A and B are shown apart, each in its own frame.
Chain A
Amino acid sequence: MNNNGNIGENGNIESVPILRIRNLKKTYMQGKIPVPALDGVSFDVNKGELLSIVGPSGSGKSTLLSMIGLLDRPTDGSVFIDDVEITKSKENEAPRIRREKIGFVFQHFNLLSTLTAMENVDIAMRFTGTSKNRRKERALELLTMVGLGDRVKHKPSELSGGQQQRVAIARALANSPAIILADEPTGAVDTKTREVIVDLLKGLSEKGQTIIVVTHDMDVARQTDRIIMMRDGAIASDTGVTGNEEKGF
């Protein structure tokens, strides 16, 4: 099979699915009433894809994201990353999987306000046992890549929203994760900054980084390779993809 990370074209049937989701279900209990948040979601994501998940509030898109990110456990179904069924992992394995496979980008950036840009990137690598020098090197490299090479010593409060989000993206990339999960990454920035962020994500995707973006913003979604529309905990439409359904089952 093709394992070249630089293909990037969506729908390339020969690409290896880096993420496979099978019949994922999640039911929350509201008192004694079960509330289904996800109702049998299945799809594949190939390496290097830039995918957006859209849908109204309560459609289950954030729940889906937290299942993929192993922040929460499904009621039923499976998530495979690199052919490993992460939904079957033990609780004490979850941190390692999060470190190695997932990079998070949040709406509100969630940088630590007491740390500099450099340290905010560095902190993601602390739990992996990377040497201090290597971490510094890597953080500088990533910050330079996102265009903040001259801002490494700045605290979040000294950076604009767009700059903060770029630090957050650098942080998400720090451990070279299989997938970047971005939860409303442009939700807290203005339209001009939004384009900078989206361009950055597109650039990363072209270099082979798999990215899943959850967004309300159709302007953002339209710029991605593929859009999955969620409604009532299920996939309402999946554009730009052929054959996932057939392939998956």
Chain B
Amino acid sequence: MFDLIFRSMTQRKMRTGLTIFGIALGIFAVVVMGGMSEHMNLVVDKSLKLLANNIQVEPDGTFGGIGTLDDSKIRQVKRVPGVSDAYGVLVTSLDPESAGGGFTGGDMVFGVLPERQMKDALLTSGRYLMPGDGYKAVVGSSIARKYNLKVGDELEMKSKRLQRTSSITNTRNVSVVGILEYTGSMFDSSVQIPLDRAQKFYKMENIVSFIYAEYTPGSDPSEIARRIDLSVDKVKSKSPEQLRKEIEGNLMIFGLITISAAVLAAIIGGLSVMNTMLMSVSERTKEFGLLKALGAERKNILFMTMGEAAIMGVVGGISGIVAGGIVTHLLNKSFEAQGSALFAITPRLVVIGLLFAISLGVICGTYPAYRATKMSPMEALRYE
């Protein structure tokens, strides 16, 4: 039967080609958009894992951005019952002239207490920061690649401050003492330097961006977060759970927007399959009538028409996935120079793309196929 399907498809090469192209384009959109969304998911997921299980305290009223907190708040947080320890982190942009920051883009400087350094991200070479380190830095894998850094190399930091009408840019070299392995998280684009040096260099003495509060084992982190909010002025605390939920919520919206655009494109591809199949079926009225007169059963005719639609779906789907894979790979390669990737083509995404293409083909082929089986052999054959 497949030979008949292929013959029907190759007989109308142009139309078959256009239909397959339509599906491929739709699936291409699904793969590219989905790949973007998947990449975000992966980064956030890994970042959250590395962020350990601390309560994050940020200034009240900052929405997603990075605010400032006075050092004194750390002491206040520490006094809250259930909090075993608290420390500040200062987050700034490595290059203030380039936009970015946050979880997904931009290279960031983390001013951290050496003794409070996160050690979940392992080193590929060198060492972590130590108490007493001066302008020393542990850099993420993307930073190391982007600036071609080895242990012992120097990295230039910039700070920019607006003063009246002019801006003053300071630069300063730090020497790299350690390079982190690739984690797929925001730490890949991070430069960690001792907190005191960061505060000094950025002229932000006694200021931190976030406070991380450790809680005593066995206590409820969301309860403690609430307590911190009540006892410390003008801060907003988030338990690891809340943080995860909030970020996942933001991601979901982003995912929804990208995915629905992609699905729309794919549905248009599906409609083109339907259109092609309807045309093909009405053109082949006689053929189906004849096959019925020759004793073809409904299932034979369904198989021929649905098969054609499904094959167009599969071929279109695979082409779309391959094209999407190539394009995202190339884009990632070109972004890699800047140390960051944008797309992640996960196996899950490939499977979804393929299933979507096939079901589009089959669903949109169903009605035309049904029409084909309804052909009366009499009607089909009587008149030329």
Contact = CB atoms under 8 A, between A and B. Distances in A.
Interface of A: 62, 66, 69, 71-72, 92, 95-96, 98-100, 104, 106-108, 110, 112, 114-115, 123-124, 126-128, 171, 175
B133 interface: no
B8 to A, nearest CB: 8
Interface in B4-57: 4, 7-8, 11
A99 B297 CA distance: 10
A107 B290 CA distance: 13
Interface in B267-306: 286-287, 290-298, 300
A128 B295 contact: yes
Nearest to B379: A71
B376 interface: yes
19 contacts: A71-B293, A71-B378, A72-B378, A92-B297, A95-B295, A95-B296, A95-B297, A95-B298, A96-B297, A98-B295, A104-B293, A104-B294, A107-B384, A123-B291, A124-B295, A127-B294, A127-B296, A127-B297, A128-B295
A152 B291 CA distance: 20
B96 interface: no
Contact of B7 (A95, A108, A114): A114
Contacts of A104: 293-294, 381
Given A71-B378, A106-B381, A112 B294 contact: no
Contacts of A106: 381
B11 A62 contact: no
Contact of A110 (B7, B290, B296): B290
A71 B376 contact: yes
Interface in B284-341: 286-287, 290-298, 300
Given A98-B295, A127-B294, A108 B384 contact: yes
Among B292, B294, B376, B381, find the residue whose CB has the most chain A CB atoms closer than 10 A: B294
A7 to B, nearest CB: 28
Given A114-B11, A127-B300, A98 B382 contact: no
Contacts of B296: 95, 127
Contacts of B384: 107-108
A115 B7 contact: yes
B114 interface: no
Contacts of A115: 7
Among A62, A104, A127, find the residue whose CB has the most chain B CB atoms closer than 10 A: A127
Contacts of B8: 114
B377 interface: yes
A98 B376 contact: no
A101 B11 CA distance: 32
B283 to A, nearest CB: 12
B377 A124 contact: no
A249 B286 CA distance: 39
A72 B384 CA distance: 19
Contacts of A95: 292, 295-298
Contacts of B300: 126-127
Contacts of A126: 1, 300
A107 B286 CA distance: 13
Smallest CB-CB A-B distances: 10 pairs: A99-B295, A95-B297, A98-B295, A71-B378, A124-B294, A71-B377, A108-B384, A95-B295, A110-B290, A127-B295
Contacts of B1: 126
Interface string B339-383: 000000000000000000000000000000000000011100110
Given A71-B376, A95-B297, A112 B290 contact: yes
A101 to B, nearest CB: 9
A77 to B, nearest CB: 18
A110 B247 CA distance: 65
A122 B287 CA distance: 15
Nearest to A66: B378
Contacts of A98: 292-295
Interface string B54-80: 000000000000000000000000000
Nearest to B377: A71
Contacts of B378: 66, 71-72
Contacts of A127: 294-297, 300
A208 B220 CA distance: 94
Among B4, B11, B298, B300, find the residue whose CB has the most chain A CB atoms closer than 10 A: B4
Given A112-B290, A114-B7, A126-B1, A62 B295 contact: no
Contact of A175 (B4, B7, B295, B382): B295
Contacts of B297: 92, 95-96, 127
Nearest to B380: A110
B374 to A, nearest CB: 12
B6 to A, nearest CB: 10
Contacts of B292: 95, 98
A112 B286 CA distance: 9
Given A71-B376, A110-B381, A112-B287, A99 B7 contact: no
